[in-house]
Structure 1
Amino acid sequence: LAAVSLESWRPPGCVWLCALLFTYASIMGWYCWWIYCFNIKGREYGEDEKLYIIRRYMKMSQSQFDSLEDNQRETFLEQQLWIRESYEVYKQEQEEELKKMAMDPRWKRYRRWMRSEGPGRLTFIDD
């Protein structure tokens, strides 16, 4: 890699600056719309807004959340996980279940099997 000298430095172009400002303005516009609709006017959350709040609580990206099955997302809505208290109870239950599974001998045996042998390996060795 060639070193870049300070003489070749140029300020960012107009197109780059406009794209940055447009992105920033669209994010701020969406955030202001959210505050106006739900905090000031007191509108009820729609299904998309509820799923957005649940996704934010779970700290998942949009693609991770989209990869979940539809019935699992419907279960989240039935449990009202967009409400902070309901989500905290759900999270606590999930953590307890994980601790319980970690101590289960069958689950330990399954993890050891996955680590040592696995479900099947892709090899290119001719038998």
Structure 2
Amino acid sequence: MLPDISEEELKEILIPVLQVDGSKAGEMVLIKLVDICSITTDGRHLKLDTAEGTYHMMATLDEVGEHLAPMLGLKKIDRVNYIQPSKVTYYDSLYRKIYFDETITPHSKFATIAQRYMDTVEALLGEEKDLAKS
């Protein structure tokens, strides 16, 4: 089910994609959602065609990490997790989890932290947000 979006709002939605051809091949660009003429696959990527060119959706975590993480300030904390530090409320150095809720419950959203990133997490967030030390 689509969200309640007006036609005017729909015309303004931009999505990040990777340029496939031309001098900017491999670079991230923004295209308007309404400019997409067709969507197909070329193996492991979704391929989007517009009147202006061909693009790939960012489909892998590595692509997101390379192109979006620097722009959005995302930090890698595990081989499968990037987080937005400003959204983190607490972390637990004992169980190596990062939380995003003010009140931590068994249903709270979390991301796991690899041991090798624990120093990075502590430097980013400070010991006062560590549930294991409170």
TM interval, shorter chain, is: under 0.3
| Structure with larger Rg | 1
TM-score (norm 2): 0.21
TM-score (norm 1): 0.21
Structure with greater strand share of residues:
2
Structure with greater helix share of residues:
1
